[in-house]
Structure formats: structure tokens, C-alpha cells
């Protein structure tokens, strides 16, 4: 009886630890910008960024980080995709002044898209 309780306890503890690890990584991804883009009135240079979002949808708060520094924060709509994104990607729209504004982020390996509202993306 004591052994089955110990096994049950260990199994439960292992499950909680693994679930916490998975949940911690669920709302995080990498983004490689190959263009200079505008986000929330800020110009972001080409390079590697980390994408983090809080919430499970439909509206989430997104943070773009370069290293440990937050370079942009904005609301987005989390939409589910039919299949996992094979690699990280993003979409932009061209502004009248020739700049590019971020419209969506597609995190690698996730079945979601983080879509900025049109009025948010074109500031």
C-alpha cells in the first residue's frame, strides 16, 4: 500500500513538473526579422528577437525582446492555424511612406498566429 502511494505521488509530481515546463515554453518563440519593420511606432532593425505572449486568446499581450530588453509591447489576436508553422515567420504591410508595419507573427512549431489589429499595426 505504501509503495503504491509513493509511486502515485512520484508519478503525479513528475506530471506537474513536466506540465509546468511545457506551459512555460508554450507562450514563447523566436523571430528572425529579415527586414526593418515598424511596430507600435517603433522601428525594429533586422535581427533575432524573442516573442512572448500572455493569455490564451482571443486577445493576448505580446512582447518582443532583443536579448533581455523589451523593444515592443502590443495587443494581438491569437488565431489557431490548421497545422503547425514549419518555421518562424511574420507578415508585414507597406505603409504610404515606404516603411513596413508588422501585421502578424507565426511562431515556429506552433499552431497559432499572433495577428495585430490593423489600426495597431499601421501607427
Q: Mind listing the pLDDT tens digit of every residue in the chain (123 residues)? A: 566 665 455 455 454 444 444 444 579 999 999 999 999 889 999 999 999 999 877 999 999 999 999 999 999 999 999 999 999 999 999 999 999 999 999 999 999 999 997 644 444
Strands (DSSP E) found in the chain:
28-33, 37-39, 42-44, 47-54, 59-66, 69-80, 89-94, 100-106, 112-115
Which pLDDT score, from 0 to 100, does residue 50 have? 96
Q: How many CB atoms lie within 10 A of CB 103?
A: 19
Residue with cell 523593444: 71
Predicted TM-score (pTM) of this structure: 0.74
Which pLDDT score, from 0 to 100, does residue 55 have? 87
Amino acid at each position: 500500500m505504501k509503495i503504491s502511494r509513493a509511486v502515485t505521488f512520484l508519478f503525479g509530481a513528475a506530471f506537474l513538473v513536466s506540465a509546468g515546463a511545457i506551459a512555460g515554453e508554450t507562450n514563447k518563440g523566436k523571430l528572425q526579422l529579415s527586414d526593418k519593420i515598424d511596430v507600435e511606432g517603433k522601428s525594429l532593425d533586422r535581427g533575432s528577437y524573442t516573442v512572448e505572449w500572455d493569455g490564451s486568446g482571443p486577445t493576448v499581450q505580446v512582447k518582443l525582446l532583443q536579448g533581455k530588453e523589451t523593444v515592443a509591447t502590443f495587443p494581438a489576436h491569437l488565431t489557431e492555424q490548421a497545422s503547425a508553422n514549419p518555421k518562424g515567420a511574420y507578415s508585414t504591410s507597406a505603409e504610404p511612406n515606404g516603411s513596413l508595419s508588422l501585421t502578424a507573427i507565426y511562431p515556429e512549431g506552433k499552431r497559432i498566429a499572433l495577428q495585430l489589429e490593423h489600426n495597431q499595426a499601421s501607427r
